[in-house]
Amino acid sequence: MVALWRFKGAGFLLTLLAIWELAADAEWINALIVPLPSKILKIFFELVASGQIPMQILVSMKRALTGYLLAAGIFIPLGIFMGISPMIYRLFEVIVEMLRPVPPPVVIPVALLFFGLGDEMKIFVILFSCAWPILLNTIDGVRGVDWVLLNTARTFRLSRVKTIWQVILPASLPQIMTGLRVSLPIMLILVVISEMVGSTDGIGYFVLDSQRRFKVAQMYAGMLALAILGYMLNQLFNLIQWLLLPWHRGMDNRKDEG
Amino acid sequence: MGSENPTLQYSNTPVPHSNIPVAILDVQSLSKSYRQSSGETTLAVGNITCQVEAGEFVSFVGPSGCGKTTLLMSIAGLLAPSSGRVVVNGKEVNGPPPNLVLLFQEYNKSLFAWRSVLGNVRFGLDARDDRSAAAESKARKLIELVGLKGFDSHYPWELSGGMQQRVAIARALAYEPEVLLMDEPFGSLDALTRLELEDTLLRLWAELKTTILFITHDIEEAIYLSDRIWVLSRRPSQIIQELKIDFPRPRHQVTTRAEGRFMELRNDIYRQIGNQGIP
Amino acid sequence: MSRSHPFNWLGWSSFALLLVTWELIARATPKLLLYFPPVSRILAALGQALATGSIVQHGLVTLGRFAEGYLLSAALAVTLGVMLGYFRFLHSLLATSIELLRPMPSVAIIPVAILLLGIGDGMIVSVTVYASVWPILINTIDGVRSVDATLIDTGRTFGLNSWRILRQIILPGASPYVVTGLRIGLSIALILVTTAEMIAGSRGLGFFILDEERAMNSANMYAGIVVVALMGYALNRLFLLLETRAMKWRHGMMARQVA
């Protein structure tokens, strides 16, 4: 009995779900708006089995990851250059500071104007939203490389180009990963938003559309799918970080910054 | 404090080396000042002149903050002197010279976290584009010499502080520099590890015959290790005394330090430094 | 951004160059006029919208919803976060639920909110509260838990009771984390307000921008974006100002570490 005490968190959650089930069943709460958890789960598994939810997720992920990887491919190199060269930093500083305060969803109408309702619209929006955490963390990572490390490379007369490749890049990789990790939930949020505002498919559209058709249990099932997706993306990222940064495993994890 | 003891020489000016071959390291009137963020100019290193012969083990001893690191970095070519110059093996220093390496105090910040012990030790050789089998075996041999046999594939974060500093030493020596500059390398280590590494260093020095220029605030360490010592003043640092240390080699932690002259030297230097008062 | 930074001529020049290029291209290619209205036209549209007051009204609506949602979420999240951070039992009870709910993108709550609350201010504020609570809550919990046990024991040695320990040791100790959470929460709140306005609003800047896009008034659309950007910038500066005032002790401490 004492050993089970460890699982009180899970137990508490299950208790809450049980209360929910009872309340919906006994009509204490409006089952039209908050259906039984058992019903939600049933519909969830049905939709997964029929392939509908997985397909919508695939559609969304295709867009999301394209935008995410594009952002990484553009803004990591830019961040490295801006971090290394004060001149390049100053060159772009004002433009970056002008674009940064724009809340990403607000860019959606612009994207709609340019790209209509297609995949490119979402890719553009995600590119814009993920840019800043990736860029700023990369710049910080490069600037944060310890002077002792740089001078060690200098005393061994490592050439400038090699110093960037062999010293600065690996040394700033942990912070670059932080930027990528912070951008991941942003990517997910923005793909959902852009699908809610301007799309005809994708998991975000699926959830909103279910609500509009009053298929309430289906809507909750979609939200559950999103939660699971978010969780799996996190775990995938942790795995990739574990593989890429083997030397980092033993060191403390730094606090994330948005 | 006369010169009754024939094996000790005290002098307040650099000992003239008239009939000795050209020094491998020649520091001429070196001074270094830099501008603070507040705009003030600080003179960190005053007028330093000294020569080091090939194969010597020499030390600078001075109080904390006297500009020792600045001095060493200027000699290593990592900082440009404000006046004066440094000549290494006949060539003026204008940037890091090819046959000289500087070892930093913060070993954990100087090792490359993403490279294994072997990867770190090979770094200097890789920088020279020497990836031959000979280079690898040289690196492995040095890992053994510093006492880290079997740790080739370990990563820095898996090692203790003393072990990390050994890796840094192995890395510097794998490069086979003619001159090795060491900036308080054992300062952040506990006392017992320090003694161990002192002996390791002496062993390596005897075997590889590198010239070593060592900086420390630990007077007894300097006496134990060196052939000659220069005592530095407070900032701006200047040489206030030069001493020749004549204890026989190989030195021994117990017997060398037990000699009466050891404590005399130590007390003398201690007084010299203490005479300058508290800043 | 310290006072000692010289004026960034290079940066402002490149920005100005960008605007000028935009203006010239827009004027030279009438076909692209829809997508790239000249900057001058955008500014004109902005001026006109400001004059008629329409943008100002929308702006105030957005600002009001933002303020309500953000402040409410801050109060809720900090209180809850302190409780969860301080009372281990409470935290272990709720930890699983939190970890399961966290990965879900907070915008997915909007359809539920529409179902429950219809479309209107109530819904918009509610989703803003929901979304902003997360970063503030998590960071507050982390902050409270990060307070060194030694510090707390020191308080106990001096005879402080639990309430005073909370106020004088734990809260100040956790404040850097709380501030980080509040800063993230601010961006999230703005995002949610504008999003909700786009999906189901009839007023506010989010609605305005989308509406103008649908009507193909791209100049007005860009004008709206400029206003939102300015609002975001102003809110960030305000936050920075308040943070610097409140956290003077920490800034001094960090500065000394750097020197």
Which pLDDT belongs to residue A130? 96
User: Measured between alpha carbons, how far is A101 from B209 in angstroms, rounded to an integer?
Assistant: 61
Residue B1: pLDDT band (50, 70, 90) is: very low
CB B236 within 8 A of CB B43: yes
Residue B64 above 80 pLDDT? Answer: no
Across the A:C interface, residue pairs with CB atoms under 8 Å apart total 161
- ipTM, interface predicted TM-score of the complex: 0.84
Q: Extract the tokens encoding B180.
A: 């090795």
A232 CB neighbour count, 10 Å cutoff? 12
User: Measured between alpha carbons, how far is A232 from C168 in angstroms, rounded to an integer?
Assistant: 40
Q: Domains in chain B and their CATH numbers?
A: 9-99+177-274 (3.40.50.300)
Q: DSSP letters of B180-237?
A: EEEESTTTTS-HHHHHHHHHHHHHHHHHH--EEEEEES-HHHHHHH-SEEEEE-SSSB
Beta-carbon-side half-sphere exposure of residue A219 (alpha carbons within 13 Å): 23
Greatest mean pLDDT among B83-87, B146-150, C69-73 = C69-73
Is the Cβ pair B96, A162 closer than 8 Å?
A: no
Please classify residue A41 by burial: count the beta carbons closer than 10 Å to its beta carbon, then call 0-12 exposed, 13-18 middle and 19+ buried.
Answer: middle
**C-alpha of A55 from chain center:** 19
Handedness of CA C241, C243, C245, C247 (dihedral sign): negative
Nearest chain A Cα to C97, which residue?
A13
Residue B23: pLDDT band (50, 70, 90) is: confident
The reported pTM is 0.84
The highest-level CATH class for domain C38-258 is mainly alpha
Which pLDDT belongs to residue B12? 44
Give the tens place of pLDDT for each residue, A146-170: 999 999 999 999 999 999 999 999 9
Return the CATH architecture of domain A54-246. Orthogonal Bundle (1.10)
Contacts of B253 (CB under 8 A, 6+ apart): B195, B198, B199, B224
User: Measured between alpha carbons, how far is B236 from B251 in angstroms, rounded to an integer?
Assistant: 33
CB C26 within 8 A of CB C39: yes
Distance from CA of C16 to the nearest CA of A (A): 9
Residue type, B44: A
Interface of A with C in 59-78 (CB under 8 A): none
CB B203 within 8 A of CB B230: no
User: Mean pLDDT lowest for which of A1-15, B129-143, C117-131?
Assistant: A1-15
Give the tens place of pLDDT for each residue, A53-103: 999 999 999 999 999 999 999 999 999 999 999 999 999 999 998 898 899
Q: What is the dihedral of CA A84, A85, A91, A94, to 10 degrees?
A: 40
Q: Which residues of A touch C14 (CB under 8 A)?
A: 91-92, 94-95
Average pLDDT, chain B: 86
Residue B10 above 60 pLDDT? Answer: no
Touching partners of A (3+ C-beta pairs < 8 Å): B, C
Q: Does A226 touch chain C (CB under 8 A)?
A: yes
Average pLDDT per block of 10 residues along chain C, 259 residues long: 67 91 83 77 84 87 95 95 89 89 92 90 94 94 88 85 83 89 93 92 90 88 91 92 80 54
What single-letter DSSP state applies at residue A33?
T
The phi, psi pair for B244, rounded to 5°, reads: -100, 135
CA angle at residue B213 from B211 to B214, to 5 degrees?
A: 135
Q: Extract the tokens encoding B242.
A: 């030069």
Residue B13 above 50 pLDDT? Answer: no
What single-letter DSSP state applies at residue A166?
I
Q: Which of C112, C116, C191 sits opposite A104 (nearest CB)?
A: C191
Nearest chain C Cα to A209, which residue?
C111
Q: Does A147 touch chain C (CB under 8 A)?
A: no
